[in-house]
Amino acid sequence: MESKQLLTGSINYGSHPHNIDHLEKGSPTTRRLSSSVAAECCCVEGGDEDLYLQQAAVFIEDAIQYRSINHRVDANSLRLYRWYYSRIWQWGLGLTIAVVLTLAFIERPSSFSYTSDPRFRPPPWEPPCGLTEGIEIVCLVIFAIDLATKSYLIGWEEFRQCKWLIVYILAVSASVIDWALTLSMYCDQNLRVRRLIRPFFLLQNSSLMKKTLKCIKRTLPEIASVILLLALHLCLFTMIGMLLFAKGENPKQNGEWEAYFRDLPTSLSSLLVLLTTANNPDVMIPAYSLNRGYSIFFILFSGFGTYFLMNLLTAIVYNQFRGYLLMSVQASILRRRLGVRAAFEVMSCQGRGQDATHSEEHVERVRVDASLQVMARVQMKSYYRQAIIKRVQQLSDGFIQWEAFRRLFDELDKDRIKEHPPKPEYNSSLLQRLQLIFSHYYVTVVGNAMALTNVMCICTILVLDSEKSIAERDDYYMEVINCFFILYYLMEMSLKILAFGWRGYLSYRNNIFDGLLTVCLLVLQITIFATYRLPFPKWNPASRGLMSLWEMVRLVNMLIVVRFLRIIPDIKLMALIASTLVDLVKNLRAFAGILVVVFYVFAVLGIWLFQGAITAPRPMSVMSNSSMENITVECGSYEQLGYWPNNFDDFASSLVLLYNVMVVNNWQVFMDAYTRYTTEWSKVYFVSWWLTSSVMWVNLFVALILENFIYKWDRSVMCSVADVERTGYETTVQLMFREQIQEPTEEELVTQLHQHPHLHLS
């Protein structure tokens, strides 16, 4: 193992006992930095400057990405490190994870059939033995390379403290062993343990997902009291319900007992489902039909449990999770500041080595030209690089102090202000007047009004023709209206291009959306005329080509309706909501990733436990009359509702069934069916999934939507619609909690640098 020392009294790069003599000979490939603690002077020999700059660039990249700086810092390791975090390798690793997760759709039981209904499902396509196994072993080799590279870069000391990497080794090893067992059984292995391991590869590849998982783990004990109170509430009302609806002498009055309170498991299940309102008011109808007073029991149960305890649980999950997430974000900010500080220390030591006039005193500063060289090497977004370089160039004394250097990277936390290109200059007074008119905001308002009118016309014609057959419809009026509005859209787009220029027009995202749909409408309309000629009264020619006239007209109308979405950027609240949704998709992928992991694990478990448990009857077309007479199903049951496609017979249908249970509408039907076809213990699986998905994850997602929207609303409440358009809000989890974050002190940064396994500070 190599021990890197950047800022100690005697620093040797790559110095081991066996190569000390080699270093002392002053080889041009060696690097030595000597520093006297008393005098604080640095002496740089050989080709050290390039390595200093490379180290500083990598530390700044770590700071930008909130990565740990605890990795090797010699030249070869830095090149490997930058390759490892390059876009090519990271995208390749992400693609490998996606491929290994997708194998569950192809492996036995395969999801390759057009329906999941066992009554009509043909035998699915099964891959030949070795096909998916060959793909999987390639993925496992890539994971092994990823593991070896990551382990080497951080060093042995850091590796021993990283539990994720240790589990990574176990996951790859167990997957390889299980893969070998599958081949030894000629791919006839039904229980493939490595399926449960695959989601781990997705988890370990995302630092934010790790933080989120850690936050969820720490949140669970905090909400245990509310869950315990909820369980107590459920048990208490279950006991009261069993006493209240006990079996009596009159069979006509035992409807509630027979259907919902026959025994303890049935009673618990009935009230648990009522807690989700999925069986309301069905569960109380038998008793309520006898005496309206029984409704008080059910109203008290659902009122206190559903509207008080469940909402209280949401509030506690939000509060506790937000607190732990804030702690994780605080650690991320510490990593960013630490990376910037490490880069400053490296560059300041380089500056002291080349600046002889300041070698006698300790001055913490870096050279401006060195900072510019480092920023040219850093891989970052161009607008951030330009903003930082612009601030560096404004410094006139040739050196940057630590505080000024730290403030340079405050640009990373600022919003990007999108500057539109200047408008073209015309010499003609007519063109100047047209430019002034059609660059005004009211032109957009008129365009929105025309789009609304177009949609209203389409809606009116659809209502008038809703009862008519295709042969009775007259598409003449619809086509005339569409032609008029399409010509207006084309004219509006052309005049806006004239006013703003091509670059200025395309610099607005709503113009790109608007223009693309306008071109599509024009092309489609020309195709209609070329195929079916110009419209005339009673215009309904016979079908030609791939699409009939009615289908092409419908496609035009659908594009027109979609084009009406252009109004969203012009209404401030709608723009904020839309941008919030976009940010949730872009920046909160960690939470979606954890949901994918949970779905994946429960789907695999569901296949193991319930595959083939429900056997559907033969289709009615092949059944005899006597067989059909013997079929009797209970109203509202799995069989009567025709829920046959919802099963655990393959991976795809398992995901759909789990989603239906997460929505909680009629989820008791699935639980009841698998209880009847298997055992009572199957309820544990469904209740566990409900708690995990509907109670925990959905509440977390609602909390994050609120946090994201409130953050955006607070920032833009004083902005106009034009300001919202110009400002590219890039909401990340770190930015959402920026105001609550405490900046690390100088002592904390220095202490962390002293603990670096490859940088030894004195």
CATH class, range 580-616+638-731:
mainly alpha
Residue 309: closest CA among 233, 242, 396, 383? 233
What are the angstrom distances between the C-alpha of 279 and each of 284, 290, 636? Answer: 9, 19, 10
Q: Supply the CATH classification number for the domain 429-570.
A: 1.20.120
Q: Which helix (H) or strand (E) holds 558?
A: helix 549-563
Q: Between vectors from CA 590 to CA 587 and to CA 595, what angle results, nearest 5°?
A: 130
pLDDT at 739: 63
Torsional sign, CA 662, 665, 667, 668: positive
pLDDT digits (tens, 9 = 90+) for 501-531: 888 888 887 788 888 888 988 888 888 888 7
| Distances, alpha carbon 319 to alpha carbons 325, 609, 695, 697, 732, in Å | 10, 36, 15, 14, 19
Q: What is the rounded CA–CA span in Å between residue 288 and residue 181?
A: 59
Residue ranges in the chain whose pLDDT is less than 50: 1-47, 353-362, 622-629, 726-731, 762
Alpha helices in 394-540 (DSSP H): 402-408, 429-438, 441-464, 476-506, 509-532
| pLDDT for the residue 417 | 62
Question: Token pair for residue 381?
Answer: 């977004």
Place of tokens 């566990």: 688
Tokens at residue 684, please? Answer: 């544990």
Domain boundaries, the chain: 47-212, 429-570, 580-616+638-731
Q: Which residue has the tokens 């389409």?
A: 458
Strands 10-12, 32-35: pairing kind: antiparallel
Alpha-carbon distance of 542 to 89, in angstroms, equals 55
d(C-alpha 305, C-alpha 722), whole Å = 46
CB < 8 Å & 24+ apart, contacts of 464-473: 470/540, 470/548, 470/550, 471/540, 473/540, 473/550
The pLDDT value given to residue 756: 80
Can you name the residues that pair with 400 across neighbouring β-strands? 366
Residues 133-178: pLDDT tens digits? 999 999 999 999 999 999 999 988 888 888 899 999 999 999 999 9
pLDDT of residue 359: 42
Would you state the structure tokens that stand for residue 750, as one six-digit string?
């220095």
Token couple for 687: 């209740």
Q: Tokens 């180290």 appear where?
A: 55
Residue 464 β-bridge partners? none
Query: What is the per-residue pLDDT for 10?
Result: 31
